[in-house]
Amino acid sequence: MKFTEKMWLIFKYSFKDMIRAKWIIVYLLFYLLLGFILLFLNNDLSSSVITIMNIIIILTPLIGTLFGVMFYYNSREFTELLIAQPIRRSRIFMGQYLGVSLSLSLSLVIGLGLPFLIFGLANSAEIFNFIMLIFIGMALTFSFTGLSMWISLRNSNRIKGFGYSVLLWLFFAVIYDGIFLSLLLIFENYPIDQFSLLMSMLNPIDLSRILVLIKLDISALMGYTGAVFQTFFGSNWGIVISGIMLLLWMTTPAYMMVRSSKRRDF
């Protein structure tokens, strides 16, 4: 999709509106404080990356979900005004989606980047692992922001949109793993390696966790699914395939949102 001047203006407005919000500043300060506390107490970049990984994988999807829902419903009247103008709906919603997602991603990058840079990340071998961690945080932010805006777009009722969005995050963060583990126990006597790989790819949170664990080569924390990934693909292939799937998770919700906007009767 071509990034036109009108789409740029919508993106710029959405981005500025987000970074001026007090909650986005709180989000930035949270990561800033978290990074300084972990590094001050531990002073070990490697273990700090692992600790932050466990927080990012759960927190960034939740924050993306909440901000996506709140931004859509708070700016609904302005969006309807834009739709009445000679602007394509796809450019309106893509501009808003990118504005929200990039502002959240910028808070993540600055909040975690400053403490790690001050503690010598640039001269450490952990810099590539940290870049991987930031990429995963951004991917989850884009994915769940897009999903929440798509759900909100399909539900005029604010309560329903908010509830469905949080339920979707809860499903991927908690319920999905319970279903997955139950299926593994039920079919433990059958060859289910390929099934495990497929189930992992269908959950961006699990996929992100496996990607980091493979990159850090932490076999003790990987569990069954991660071990299958490492064995079947090998470390390099596992990272490449996981990265491609994460990119699909970033782009597919945006595509669904744009498609729904064209059919929606405002």
Q: Which two tokens stand for residue 61?
A: 């999807």
- In tens digits, the chain (266 residues) has pLDDT values of 455 677 888 888 888 888 888 889 999 999 999 888 888 887 777 777 778 888 899 899 999 999 999 999 998 888 888 888 888 888 889 999 999 999 999 999 999 989 888 887 777 777 888 888 898 999 999 999 999 999 999 888 899 999 999 999 999 998 988 888 788 788 777 777 777 778 888 889 988 887 777 766 665 455 555 566 666 665 667 677 777 888 899 999 999 998 888 777 66
Q: What is the pLDDT of residue 22?
A: 85
* Alpha carbons 102 and 184: distance in angstroms, whole number: 37
Q: How many domains does the chain have?
A: 1
**pLDDT of amino acid 199:** 82
Domain-located, residue 155: yes
Measured CA distances, 208 to 129, 178, 246, 249 (Å): 13, 17, 8, 11
pLDDT value of residue 233: 60
Q: Which two tokens stand for residue 31?
A: 């990561």
Using CA atoms, how far apart are residues 58 and 53, in angstroms rounded to an integer?
9
Q: What is the pLDDT of residue 182?
A: 85
User: Which of 213, 231, 62 shows the shortest CA–CA distance to 144?
Assistant: 62
Q: How many CB atoms lie within 10 A of CB 137?
A: 27
By three-state DSSP, how is residue 117 classified? Answer: helix
54 inside domain: yes
Helix (H) or strand (E) holding 237: helix 219-263
Helix (H) or strand (E) holding 142: helix 127-154
Q: Does residue 129 fall inside a structural domain?
A: yes
Residue 12: give the domain boundaries. Answer: 5-171+250-263
What whole-number distance in Å separates Cα of residue 114 and Cα of residue 32?
7
Residue 124: inside a domain:
yes
pTM greater than the 0.75 cutoff: yes
Q: Is residue 193 part of a domain?
A: no
pLDDT of residue 201: 83
pLDDT for 145: 95
- Closest alpha carbon to 183 in 224, 221, 229: 224
Question: Does residue 143 belong to any structural domain of this protein?
Answer: yes
In a domain, residue 194? The reply is no
Question: For the chain, percent helix, then strand, then coil, each to nearest 5?
Answer: 85, 0, 15
> Would 26 be classed as within a structural domain?
yes
